[in-house]
Amino acid sequence: MKIIEVKTLAIPEVKIIRFARFNDQRGYFTETYRKSDLANNPDTSFMKKVNFLQCNDTFSKATTVRGLHFQWNPFMGKLIRVIVGNIIDVALDIRKNSPTFGKIVAYELGSEASHDYNDWIWVPPGFAHGVIVIKDSRVEYFCSGEYSPGCEASISPLAQDIDWSLCDKETRKKFDSIVKNTQLMTDKDKNGHTMKSWLDDKNSDNFIYGKC
């Protein structure tokens, strides 16, 4: 896995890991993941103790909205990349006492066969995660915890008390144009918590800054 660049987003725990593709007249080859490369590269030291236990593959039609999801017991961090397509990936800080609690960041991820790179986004435990699909897309998730029914919840992408002040304005416009008009969002996600109602839920005490 040839790591080209590691970028820190406005919430510093959320990272972009860009890796190389090797193109020629036939197409391309790439190594998408190698544990030792992530563990030994000084720019990805935050991945050193991460152990992935589950891998998910999802296809979503354009204007699909998924999220904002999270779980506890066990916590789940996610390493996400687009195999084909174009999405906006979002991460919302739900860690109590965090300096960025209630704030959200968004990053546009895409993948075209002609690109000589691809990106992972790392969303660690303590964040609600969502995907807004710009065009038909296939997405892969490496997860640091196994799915745990009954220990999951979501914040609605429509919640008015999410703080967007750290988000790029153009990306926010794309997000809003899809989320406010889509027919491809489950009622469960649409009717998820607001930040206030999540704080009133006793399960929110599972997410404390520095402890998850």
Active site residues: 69, 141
Parallel, antiparallel or unpaired: strands 117-123 and 27-29: unpaired
Amino acid at 18: R
Helices (H), the chain: 35-40, 169-179, 187-190, 195-199
Q: Helix, strand or coil for residue 116?
A: coil
Among candidates 31, 32, 118, 121, which has minimal Cα distance to 77?
Answer: 121
Cβ atoms within 10 A of the Cβ of 132, count? 26
Nearest 5°: phi and psi at 195?
-60, -40
* Residues pairing with 143 in the sheet: 54, 78
CB under 8 A, 24+ apart: contacts of 175-180: 175/88, 175/90, 175/106, 175/132, 178/63, 178/65, 178/88, 178/132, 178/133, 178/134, 179/65, 179/132
